[in-house]
Structure 1
C-alpha cells in the first residue's frame, strides 16, 4: 500500500463521513450543534459533546429506512425518544443504554399496541397489550417480553384472570362470563404418541396391473401429536362488582419479575430480542 493509499484509508471522512458543525476550540472534538453525513447515507443532526452524540438529536437511516428523534448520552439513546422502525412500527417512550427501558408505548404495523413498562429492550413490569383485530387486550405483569399473570379481556365483555405461559392462558385461572358466572380451573395439556401404518408398496405384475406387496404384518411409524389443551373446571361461583374490580387491579408481587435461571443464562450470553427491529439501530 502506497503512502497516499494509506492516508486515504485513514481519512476520517471515509470512515465517519462528512461533519459540519461546532468543535471544541482546544481539543478540536465535535461539540455543540452539528450534522454528520455517513458514507452509507445515514444522517445525524443534533448536539455533540466530547466528540460524541450528547443531547437532543435526530438520526435517519437510509437502508433500511428508519428514524430516531430524542435524547442521546455518550453516543447512545438515553431518556425520552421516538424510534420508527423499518417495518413501520414505532416506539414512543424512554430509553436506557440504547435500549427501550422505563415507560413506553410500542405500536405495531397491524395496529396492535403495548403500553407499559420496559427493561433491557423487552416488556417488563406492568403493561397493557391491545389487539386491534380481535378488539381484546391483555392487562398484567410482563417478564422478559412475556405476560406471566393478569387479565385477558375478550370482545364480548367476558374475561380470564390468572397465569399465562407463552402468551396464552395456562396453568390455572378463572373465566368470568358477561352475566357474572365464574369458572375456576386449570389447564391440562398432554403429548401422545400415535402409530400410523405405512402404505404398502405396489408392484406391477406381468400383465401390467399393480399389485400390493404382501406383508405378514403392516409396518408402523410413530408420530408425536400434541392434543388440544383442556380447561378442567374445579369450581363455580358468581362474581360481584367487588371481585371484578379486584381482578382488574394488578400489582407486582415481590420477586415476580426475577428471571428464571435459564433465562438469566440466555441474557448473560447476549440473547437479542426482536432482532429485525433492532437491526436499524446499529449506528
Structure 2
C-alpha cells in the first residue's frame, strides 16, 4: 500500500490501527486495518478484506502487508481455503474446498498439502493419511459402519 496517499486513510484515536478503505491503481480494494512502519509506510496489518480486480477475495488477518494468521480466501474458480496463512501462503492447518466440492482438511506447508490430513471426495468417501504435495502414500479409506 506504499502508493497510498495521506488523504486515503484516517487515524483512529491513540496508537491503535489505522482504519482504511483503499482502491489500488489496478482496481483491487482493501478495507480494514493498517499500521505505519518505522519508515512511515502504511501497510495492511490487523484484520481486513482485500478484493482483487479479478474477483479473488481474502478476509482475515494481515501482517506487514501479507496474509498472515487466520483467514479465508475465495478463488474465482469456486475453490475456497479457510485456515492459517504465513507470508501470503497456506501454512498450518486449514480446509481447502475444490471447485467440484471435494475437500482436504489437514496441514499445509507453503501452499502444499503436507502432513496428516483427510480428503473427502464428491461421493463422501473419506481418505485419511499422510500427504506430501501431489503424493499421498498409504492413505486409508474411512468406513462408516
What TM-score results when the alignment is normalised by the length of structure 1?
0.44
The root-mean-square deviation of aligned C-alpha atoms, in Å, is 2.5
Counterpart CA distance in 1 for 2:73 and 2:89 is: 11
The number of aligned residues is 135
Cα displacement (A) at 1:135: 3.1
Moved beyond 3 Å, runs of 4+: 15-19
Cα displacement (A) at 1:20: 2.2
Alignment partner for residue 46 of structure 2, among 55, 67, 71?
55
**Partners of 1:125 and 1:142 within 8 A in 2:** yes
Deviations 1:10-42 (A, max 9, x none): xx9xx9466621359xxxxxx611111012221
Aligned CA distance change for structure 1 residues 71 and 102 (closer, same or farther; 3 Å): same
Q: What is the DSSP-based 3-state SS (H/G/I as helix, E as strand, rest coil) of the residue aligned with 2:136?
A: strand
Q: What is the DSSP-based 3-state SS (H/G/I as helix, E as strand, rest coil) of the residue aligned with 1:86?
A: coil
**Partners of 1:82 and 1:91 within 8 A in 2:** yes
What residue in structure 2 maps to residue 163 of structure 1? none
Counterpart CA distance in 2 for 1:149 and 1:22 is: 54
1:136 pairs with 2:125: yes
Counterpart CA distance in 2 for 1:57 and 1:42 is: 13
Cα displacement (A) at 1:127: 0.3
Counterpart CA distance in 2 for 1:101 and 1:128 is: 16
Cα displacement (A) at 1:117: 0.8
Higher relative contact order (CA 8 A, sep 6+): 2
Cα displacement (A) at 1:152: 2.9
Aligned CA distance change for structure 1 residues 75 and 145 (closer, same or farther; 3 Å): farther
Q: 1:105-116 to 2 correspondence within 5 Å?
A: 105-116=95-106
Unpaired runs of 5+ residues, structure 1, are: 1-11, 25-30, 159-177, 179-283
Deviations 1:126-170 (A, max 9, x none): 0000001x33221000113431222034xxx59xxxxxxxxxxxx
What residue in structure 2 maps to residue 44 of structure 1? 30
The structure whose Rg is larger is 1
**Partners of 1:116 and 1:126 within 8 A in 2:** yes
Question: Which of the pair is proportionally richer in helix?
Answer: 1
What TM-score results when the alignment is normalised by the length of structure 2?
0.82
